[in-house]
Amino acid sequence: MTLTIDNLDGLGAVDYSAALCAEKPLTLTRTLNEPSLLHGLLDCTDLNLATPVRAGRVIMTAQNGTALFSGYIVTEPVPLYIGARSEGVAYQVEFSAVSDDWVLDLQPVPTTNAGLGQSSGALLKVLTGRVDSSLLTTGSVMSAATVGVFQPDAAQTWSVNAGALANSAYASYRALNGTLSMQPAGTVTHTFSDVDGTLNIAALATHQLKELANDITLTGKSEPVAYVTELFVGDGTTTVFEMSHVAIAVTGTPLSAGELINDSFNEATFNSLVWETVDPGSHLGISSGGLNMTGGNGFDGQTTLAAIDQLEIGGTLVLEVGNLQLNSGSAGTLCGLYQGATSVANCLAGFHVDNVSGSTVVVPLVNGAEVGTSFTLLSGHIYTLRLRVHCPEMQRVMQTYYAMVDGAIELFGGGLATAPMSVVFDLIDLGLSSSTPATVLYDGALTSSPAMCTFVPVNSVNLLGTMGYCRVTQAGSGWITSTVPGDPPYTRLIGTAATGCDCAWNRTGAKITFFAGRIPVAGELITTTYRTTQSSIARLANTASMASQSALGLPPVAHWLGRVTQPLTRSSADCENAAAAMLSFSTQRAAALAGNYAAVNLQQQQDVWPGDVLTLVSQSQSISVVVRKVVIENTSSAPELLIYKIDFANDWAEGLAIKAVSGIAKDAVPPAQALTAPAQVLANLQALAVTAVSTTALQVDAGADPPAGGGFEVRRRDWDFGPAVDQDFVLRSSVRSFYLPRTTETEQFYVRMYDASTPPLYSRFSSVVIANLPTS
């Protein structure tokens, strides 16, 4: 074994192998998805070797050339007095080194948005690039497992975030010789057998760490539940309207006030943590006016400023480019959302800029086509362009969970949620009075929308001018429309009076306040839509395991309750998929197995790293276990003798891709009955709408056609649906459009779709209609 240290003194890597002290073996500790640690004791006095220094680079190599460790001495080596010698006082030096990922841990992890629906390898490269792309090469990052949602934690180090990401993908990462690598756990398998003598039974210890479980209840984060449509009527004077339920008003985001992106372009260069630029002609830059646009190469999608992280198109998003000045001859697209490559054809929504008869004109662009009203920008005027999109579904990307089932990594969950979308384009001339309402260029809706889009504030064909800032805000779940008698409905703009908006929805989600000049007139119908929230929870059971327990004369149910801490679990559907993943191993004795094994000189065959699999064969029976920790001790003997001490555990003994702790969330209500698989449910009625109002009835369009033999069930109370339940029942309708009878000024109706199954399937969540309307 060779140990070299570069003390940064210009001498390069110096061999310290002869200075290793036998009384305290050089010890290398590798832990799954954590930095590796190296501890040693050196006696440099008689060898005329310099005392190692902090930040000195350490490399440990086996005799056959296998690289075992590379890293840095992270603290000042500790001198240990050992006595006096003829040449003077003698010391030994104790040192500690951390693997190459230490240099990344020294850098701050920036606050960023979540990565959505990407491979774990791509997410690790983005995370590393944002910390410092020059410190480790990432060419060996190979894991292709998709991660549904990954939110980096700026309060933790790079290695903690990288470890959480690798865990979520059932993978292992390591940093060695300046290279970062990641591969699926189990990519390398080591087989030890007592038949051929490679397995030493005396050096093997195994035990069961957990009781088996066949009935699992899991909780995650709070999730959006009911789809609420609440109706009010204006009287010409009332400005404040109180909600019957608390709406999800501003969702939790890494930045304050729901901001996903907020850039004033006041640094010397574009913020590489947020933006990716494509600008071969150097037409985009930063000046005293903010983002400076000096043209393009004349082609769509070839001069762009785009956000690195995709946006989840859920709830209400407000995308805004402000302090905008455009000069004559400008052409391109501003404030755009794109599906796929940046091109007009792929633009879900954005402001198309063109030169018409010498004037600069903006016109809304939806699904690649111009819609709505065009607006001519005046020379020298400063504008704000805002794009508002609203989806009743707030969580569009489902989480992914991995487990090792029968030796293969299996995926549970994943996928995208469908949803309709409303969209509004509005514009403000900042030279006008602050009380002037915003100009709405388009107010429309789409029956479907993508779950994720790339935000591209600038797609320059030939844009000329400046942009002072760019902002994207997740404004929660609220959306408001108004219908004045005799007129079509229109969207009310939520924001502040100074930005030309109509009303404010307070941050607690409890009330709406209309501004002077925008107060609903007498008889105006105000329709608010929003979501309510509660803790996500699921309960699943394995009936085959229950039958086996009963056959042994044992109680059939072995219940376990837990809270998922990793990966991010945002909904009951996510909880169900996590529980299904856990049940795939929690009923198997081998999955509860943990233990350790000791062997020598494994580096001569194949070095062992955490994340590898050991296949242990004894008396013709074999078990496979995942390596969690490897400690390598150098015995300072010749020939080389390295002792490997290996700790292993399977998924139920120690969670890998799913981290959970005992006990459910305090405000969660445990389901009375366990499911045997993720719930079979009908679609939620996301697009349910009240189409007509009278003093005696509400006409409702369910927003979807009824399933064959099924329809829509209406009750006055939630969470109590079923053909055998009589209380709070209002009606069942077999047609899409139906009437709800009114008896009082304030009423609530809960609606779910059902089918002809026995028992019938229902929507997972209710659509709620709340009427706050006079009956005469």
CATH no. for residue 151?
A: 3.55.50.10
pLDDT at 257: 59
What's the rounded Cα separation, in Å, for the pair 597 and 255?
47
Q: Residue 563 carries which side chain, given as an amino acid letter? A: R
Q: Are residues 763 and 728 in the same domain?
A: yes
- Amino acid 523: pLDDT: 96
pLDDT at 432: 80
Asked whether residue 121 falls in the same domain as residue 53, the answer is: no
pLDDT tens digits along 544-594: 999 999 999 999 999 999 999 999 999 999 999 999 999 999 999 899 999
pLDDT in tens, 281-298: 999 999 998 999 999 999
Contacts with 750 (C-beta within 8 Å, 6 or more apart), sequence order: 226, 714, 715, 716, 717, 718, 766, 767, 768
Give the global pTM.
Answer: 0.94
Same domain, 339 and 468: yes
Q: Are residues 94 and 16 in the same domain?
A: yes
Asked if 215 and 674 touch (Cβ cutoff 8 Å), the reply is yes
Residue for token pair 């909880």: 575
Q: Is residue 625 part of a domain?
A: no
Q: Is residue 765 part of a domain?
A: yes
Supply the pLDDT for residue 436: 86
Run of H or E including 586: helix 572-586
Same domain for 315 and 427, yes or no, is yes
In the predicted model, is pLDDT for residue 373 greater than 60?
yes
- Is 618 domain-assigned? no
Last residue within a domain, chosen from 99, 126, 144: 99
| pLDDT for the residue 508 | 77
pLDDT (mean) for 18-39: 95
Q: What is the mean pLDDT of residues 55-59?
A: 97
Across residues 385-392, what is the average pLDDT? 98
746 part of a folded domain? yes
How confident is residue 80, by pLDDT bands cut at 50, 70 and 90? confident
Same domain, 39 and 89: yes
Please check whether residue 282 lies inside any domain of the structure. no
Q: What was the pLDDT predicted at 84?
A: 67
173-215 pLDDT, tens digit each: 999 999 999 999 999 999 999 888 899 999 999 998 889 999 9
- Tell whether 460 is covered by a domain: yes
Mean pLDDT computed over 716-741: 95
Question: Which is it for strands 347-356 and 332-338: parallel, antiparallel or unpaired?
Answer: antiparallel
Handedness of CA 564, 533, 259, 119 (dihedral sign): positive
pLDDT of residue 22: 84
Q: Is residue 727 part of a domain?
A: yes
Asked whether 287 and 435 are in contact (CB, 8 A), the reply is: no
385 with 301, same domain: the answer is: yes
Quickly state the pLDDT bin for 251 (edges 50, 70, 90).
low
Rounded to whole angstroms, how far apart are CA atoms 489 and 372? 16
85 band by pLDDT with thresholds 50, 70 and 90: low
pLDDT for residue 649: 96
Asked whether residue 255 carries a pLDDT value surpassing 60, the answer given is: no
Cα gap 450→465, rounded to integer Å: 31
Any idea what the CATH number is for the domain that residue 307 is in?
A: 2.60.120.200
- What mean pLDDT comes out for the span 500-528? 93
Does residue 459 share a domain with residue 371? Answer: yes
- The residue from 75, 99, 123 where one domain ends is 99
Domain count, the chain: 4
What's the mean pLDDT when you consider all of the chain?
Answer: 94
Percent of the chain exceeding pLDDT 70 equals: 98
On whether the CB atoms of residues 575 and 564 are closer than 8 A, the answer is: yes
Say which residue, 543 or 82, is predicted with more confidence. Answer: 543
Dist CA 686 CA 701 (whole Å): 11
Could you tell me which residue, 82 or 704, shows the higher pLDDT? 704
Average the pLDDT over 433-446 and give the result: 91
Strand partners, 13: 6
Both tokens of residue 41? 């004791």
**125-151 average pLDDT score:** 93
Residue 91 has pLDDT above 90, yes or no: no
758: CB partners within 8 A, 6+ apart: none
Q: What percent of the chain has pLDDT over 90?
A: 89
Same domain as 454, residue 307 = yes
Are 13 and 82 members of one domain?
Answer: yes
Same domain, 63 and 118: no
Report, as an integer, the average pLDDT of 370-392: 96
- Whether 19 is covered by a domain: the verdict is yes
Average pLDDT over residues 108-130: 96
**Per-residue pLDDT at 88:** 65
* Enclosing domain of residue 33: 2-99
Strand partners, 159: none
> Where residue 250 falls among pLDDT bands split at 50, 70, 90?
low
Q: Are residues 48 and 122 in the same domain?
A: no
Residue at which a domain ends, from 99, 127, 155: 99
Q: What tens digit of pLDDT does each residue of 622-673 get? A: 999 999 999 999 988 888 999 999 999 999 999 999 999 999 998 899 999 9
Least confident of 91-95, 328-332, 430-434: 430-434
For residue 621, give both structure tokens. Answer: 């029976």
pLDDT in tens, 316-350: 999 999 999 999 999 999 999 999 999 999 999 99
